[in-house]
Structures are given as C-alpha cells and as structure tokens.
Structure 1
Amino acid sequence: MWPSGGRHLWPSGETSKTQSHTRGHLVYAASGVLAVHTERGTSIVPANRVAWTPAGFTHHHRAHGDTDMRIVFLTPSLARLVPDHPAVFLASGLAREVLLALTGPRNHDDAPGYSRSARARLLRVLVDDLCEADEQPLHLPEPQDDRLQALARLLHENPADNATLAELGATIGASTRTLSRLFRSELGMTFYEWRTQLRIHHSLVLLADGHDTIRTAYACGWANPSSFIAAFTDIVGTTPGRHRAMRGNTGIGGR
C-alpha cells in the first residue's frame, strides 16, 4: 500500500480480507459503489459519499459494479476530529478533489509526489471539510439482539417482503412491543426506518449491477417506481437515474 492507502481498481464482486488497522481510514468510490462492513453494521458508499472507519474496527470492503476505490489513512491527531464510530459523509466537490489528489498519480510510480508538509495540509483541509458535513443515513446498523438478528436475516434475504412488524414478530417469536423497543434502544430508529435503509442499500447494489429503476423498485419492495424514487432521493440525495449516470461517468474515475 502507498502511504495514503492509494487507489485500487476492483471488478464487481471483489471483496477484501477481513482486517483492522492501527490508523483510521477514509474510503471513497470515484466510480462504482462500495460496501464497507464493520462489526457495527454496513455502510454503502456511492460516488457522492465518503465512509470513515476508525482505527481498530474489524472490517472488509466489497465492490458493486467496477469500482475505483480510493483509501486515505488519517494520523491519530486528525482522527480525533472525526467520529469515533463508522460513519458516512456527503462528499463535497472539495473533498472529492482532495481525495483524488492524495491518491492520484503524483503519489506513486515515478511521478514526483506531494511533500510531507503538502500532504499534511491537504489532509487537514479534507478533515476540516468533512467536519462541516453532516453524517449521512447510509450506515445500516447491525443488530446484536438475537430476535433482531433473526428479523434482519429474513429481510436481508428478501428485502421486498412487506410483512408488518407484527407478522415478522410472529415468525420469530417476539411481540411487536418488544421489537419496537429493541429497534429504538439498540439501533436508534424505528423498524420502518431501518427497513427503508436496508432497501436503499439493496437498491444501490442492484443499480450498481446494472438493473434499471423499475426493476430495482419492485425488487426492493416498493409498490411503484415513483415511491421508490422519492425514498431514494430523500436518503441518497439524488434520483436513481442520476445516480446511475454519475456512477457510470463521474468524469474523475481515471485520475
């Protein structure tokens, strides 16, 4: 690995080994979609987001669609300025350009790289920019309670399942009241918020694999494409169609 973590071109479906690092790192997909799996849950990283994994967290990455992955490690002094838990941030134009500069051709091969002081200044600009950005709702927390885990397995296997919480509870042997309390206390969201997040995660994977909006909407449990488009736009910040266009032609993937 280069000192910055560098650039990695992954074919669709490529998965890293499970690992942890002594320094926290930022991951950005200049093209494609990345899934970052940690012990706390899964973060989906489309081309307008940056994922943060703190030091010591066991994790692995998976590419959905051919993916241009950029990795930047942070020193402990900079890592203290960002959250102490896995998070996803909106990638501003400035953040994208700094990430690309830190992982571009000036940092490997025979090209002259940035000096240590220049890299330090760029990293500080990047962290300052991320500190101004709100955390994004693209991190799907992983339940720890056995009952929630059983429910999560059912919906991971079939995101289109429109069963109510009461119906799912009857399947796994837990009451609606108990499950609602667990979602709030353990995951910090309602069941319906969590299921919507799961479906959006699944939709990002399907779109990265080349499925169109209509097919993706029905595969993820929406009754009609317009409802899917509204939910997707609310969480991801752009429509599925624009997201696919951006993913396939970011204009920056070769840098």
Structure 2
Amino acid sequence: MPTDVANPPDFEPSDIAFTMDPARPILTHGRVIGAGRSVRPHSHPRGQLLWAMRGVLRVASNACIWLVPPSHAVWIPGGMEHQVTIESEAELLNIYVDPSVPVRETSHPLPCCAVLLLTPLAREMIRRLGEADTSGPFDDRLVRFCAVLLDELRDLAEAPLNLPGGRDDRLTRVTRHLIRHPHEASQLTELGQIAGASPRTLERLFRAETGLSFRQWRSKLRLLNAIEALNRGESSTTIAFSMGYSSPSAFIAAFREAFGTTPQRFLTSGS
C-alpha cells in the first residue's frame, strides 16, 4: 500500500483513483494528513471507501456535508465530485473500487455519499487489504479476498451523519457561516444580514432545501461537531456546556435522539 504524508492545503487525490482495470477490482492507498488540510474538489471513476483509522473527516458534495469518525467509513460513488477536509490529524486508508464492480445500491436520484458503521470483520479486512500489494496482477486468492470484502461493504449499516446544505445562495451563505462558527448563538435576525434575506425567508429556505427547520439544522450541526470533540477526548459534560445545553443529561438525550445511542457508546460502536 503506498503511503505518504501530505501537508500542503488542497493536495491532490491519488492517481490510482483514476486507474481503470477490472482485473484489479480494488486498489489501496494510505496517507497520514495533518489537521486542517483538504483535498481539492474532484471526482474519479473508481468508487472510494475512505476510512480514517484515527482522526475525523469532513466530506462535502452537492451542498451536503458528511462527518466521519474512526468508528465509521464513508462510501463515495465513482463520478461524484467531492472535497475531503481533515478535521484532526488523520491516518487514512483508501479503498478504490473499479467501476465494473457494483458496491452499494441506492434509492437516491443522484450519486450520494454514505457514512457506514464498520463491523469488526470489515475493519480487519480493510487493514489486511491495505497491507497487500495491489500494484501488480492479482492472483486468484486476492481476487477472492476482494469479493468477500465487497460483500461485507454492501451490508454495512448507514449512519445519519450527514447535514444537508441547500443550494440557494442566501442559504449557503448562512450555512457556511454556521459551519465555521458552530457555537455561535446568532438567531435568524442577525444571520439575515449575512444572507441578505429576511428571517422568514431564511426559515422557509431551510425547510424547503434541507428538510429541517433552522433550529433543527443548527442542533444537528452542533451534534456533529460534538462527535469531533468526543474523538478528541472531551467529556460529555464539557461538550454539553460549551454547546449551550442546560445539562449533560440534556446533551446526552439530544445525542441519543439524533444518533440512536449515547455519546460514549457511539465512540465504541465500531470497535
């Protein structure tokens, strides 16, 4: 598995993402990347399973955002333009799947990312494949191994770690501002000055383009950022008060409602 350390911002995707070769159904590539770095917006013909064995990733595409902690990986369909940002220093393992191989069926009308909860079997198989030499011809054993891994990937459960961003320019100005300042307490009246729109218009845009009210959208943004904080080792109590919850129990209840489990169980769910 090729491995490199990428430091400059807007670094380039790996060349193997553009390699078309059905005889090598899966190609791998590893990187260690510093916090705050990004891969430039791009697409490639191979589908990509991206896993940060440590660190947190943020993937953006089609005005949506996906957050990926180490317990999960993100599936990015081939041909879908996307950008990856490293929220905390990450050790990445990329699995690139040739377009001749179907991986995950979806009901979405457009290609769409999916954050997947990794099973222990999937984690170990991905690690093992990352250690294999995929630069040359595949023998029968490696082909069979790839087929078993792809079967496992098809059945992984999808996690609700996405945040719709909308397309209207007024709305995206607000959502980008909130993403940069997730703890800010500004209401729609103040945010309307950034958007150049009235509070009523912004509320309508949130509901029409994201399917969430402004309050629901910002709450989910804060909970997604809470996952990053949990992975940094911050306690539920510290996170709760920094995000404006009245108590740790109120934060835990909101987290459970959004993600179906408590913060600490979420952290260990992929181990």
The question of 1:73 aligning with 2:100 is answered no
User: Which residue does 2:13 correspond to in 1?
Assistant: none
Q: Considering only aligned residues, what root-mean-square deviation do their CA atoms show, in Å?
A: 3.3
Determine which structure has greater relative contact order: mean sequence separation of CA pairs < 8 Å that are 6+ residues apart, divided by chain length: 1
How far is the alpha carbon of 1:182 from its aligned partner? 2.0
* Code of the aligned partner of 2:121: L
Distance in 2 of aligned mates of 1:175 and 1:196: 21
User: Which residue does 2:217 correspond to in 1?
Assistant: 194
User: Of 72, 85, 98, which residue of structure 2 is paired with 1:49?
Assistant: 72
How far is the alpha carbon of 1:243 from its aligned partner? 5.0
How far is the alpha carbon of 1:45 from its aligned partner? 0.7
User: Which residue does 2:123 correspond to in 1?
Assistant: 96
User: Which residue does 2:55 correspond to in 1?
Assistant: 32
Percent pairwise identity: 33
Distance in 1 of aligned mates of 2:59 and 2:68: 8
How far is the alpha carbon of 1:113 from its aligned partner? 8.2
Distance in 2 of aligned mates of 1:93 and 1:61: 25
Would you say how many aligned residue pairs link Structure 1 and Structure 2? 243
Distance in 2 of aligned mates of 1:187 and 1:181: 10
More helix by share: 1
**Structure 2: runs of 5 or more not aligned:** 3-15, 17-25
How far is the alpha carbon of 1:161 from its aligned partner? 3.2
**Structure 1: runs of 5 or more not aligned:** none
What is the TM-score of this pair, normalised by structure 1? 0.77
Distance in 1 of aligned mates of 2:88 and 2:78: 27
Q: Tell me, what secondary structure is at the counterpart of 2:227?
A: helix
Contact 2:33-2:90 within 8 A present in 1 as well: yes
* Code of the aligned partner of 2:197: A
User: Of 161, 173, 176, which residue of structure 2 is paired with 1:150?
Assistant: 173
How far is the alpha carbon of 1:69 from its aligned partner? 1.8
How far is the alpha carbon of 1:199 from its aligned partner? 0.8
Distance in 1 of aligned mates of 2:180 and 2:164: 17
Contact 1:33-1:65 within 8 A present in 2 as well: yes
Contact 1:169-1:179 within 8 A present in 2 as well: yes
How far is the alpha carbon of 1:138 from its aligned partner? 0.8
Q: Following superposition of structure 1 onto structure 2, how do residues 156-167 of structure 1 map, counting pairs within 5 Å?
A: 156-165=179-188
How far is the alpha carbon of 1:33 from its aligned partner? 1.7
Contact 1:7-1:69 within 8 A present in 2 as well: yes
Task: Provide Cα deviations, 1:72-92, integer angstroms capped at 9, x if missing partner.
Answer: 122324446333212222223
How far is the alpha carbon of 1:100 from its aligned partner? 2.6
* Code of the aligned partner of 2:132: R
User: Of 122, 137, 143, which residue of structure 2 is paired with 1:117?
Assistant: 143
Contact 1:8-1:68 within 8 A present in 2 as well: yes
Label 1:208 to 1:22 Cα distance change in 2 as closer, same or farther (>3 A): same
Task: Provide Cα deviations, 1:90-110, integer angstroms capped at 9, x if missing partner.
Answer: 22333333333332x23469x
Label 1:64 to 1:82 Cα distance change in 2 as closer, same or farther (>3 A): same
User: Which residue does 2:19 correspond to in 1?
Assistant: none
Distance in 2 of aligned mates of 1:226 and 1:238: 13
* Code of the aligned partner of 1:75: D
Task: Provide Cα deviations, 1:151-182, integer angstroms capped at 9, x if missing partner.
Answer: 21342243223444466447645344433332
Task: Provide Cα deviations, 1:15-72, integer angstroms capped at 9, x if missing partner.
Answer: 3343321112111222222222334322111122221212222323233334232211
Distance in 2 of aligned mates of 1:25 and 1:44: 16
Distance in 2 of aligned mates of 1:189 and 1:168: 17
